[in-house]
Chains A and B, each alone.
Chain A
Amino acid sequence: SQQGEEDPQALSIQEGENATMNCSYKTSINNLQWYRQNSGRGLVHLILIRSNEREKHSGRLRVTLDTSKKSSSLLITASRAADTASYFCATVNYGGSQGNLIFGKGTKLSVKP
């Protein structure tokens, strides 16, 4: 069952610009994670934000979480061509089966040099 919905579905920007992707979800969560997938490869974990956190940073990544709106955003600053990938949010439902993530359908980011 789908939980997170990423927005936009696709995003095209120039190198050096910032990229913002949004994720909305439906039920109460334990935490929310963002993953990246390079074309034809497996997913790589980027960052996790817990339900009691509002903002988290990791390098050029900034994640915010608004539990009242059931939404999260991923900001990539000063984007590079190597950031071209699909980005997925994933949630762990509060009280859900341990270890189970529910993934959104992803945002496809294209960064042009």
Chain B
Amino acid sequence: DVKVTQSSRYLVKRTGEKVFLECVQDMDHENMFWYRQDPGLGLRLIYFSYDVKMKEKGDIPEGYSVSREKKERFSLILESASTNQTSMYLCASSSLEGTPYEQYFGPGTRLTVT
């Protein structure tokens, strides 16, 4: 079974702190994604990556950056956390083979910025 893990289930940070959210997948998937999920807004794509060292902006990249140094790991970075970045963050991965575009999700990180 594909497993996508995220470094923390719950995280509390202060305004202005630099925050790292880590995501690791164990199925050699090419594609990896970061979403945030807010009530009434659904899932919104922040960044995605199709390959190592590759990154593409999603719908709401402002205030975020990403890093993909290894195929299995995709990190989301909040350079200077703000209260409006309090949200549920979901990482996902998918393969170019098999069922195309089916995404496998991690359990999520609920981030609170105070």
Contacts and interface: CB of A to CB of B under 8 A. Distances in A.
B105 A88 contact: no
A43 B101 contact: no
Contact of A42 (B50, B101, B102, B105): B105
Interface string A14-45: 00000000000000001101010000111111
Given A43-B90, A100-B48, A48 B42 contact: no
B31 A99 contact: yes
Contacts of B106: 42
A48 B30 CA distance: 20
B27 interface: no
A45 B42 contact: no
B4 A42 contact: yes
Interface of A: 1-2, 30-31, 33, 35, 40-45, 48, 88, 90, 92, 97-101, 103-106
Contacts of B30: 99
Interface string B50-68: 1000001001000000000
Interface string B84-114: 0000101010101001111111111010000
A42 B107 CA distance: 4
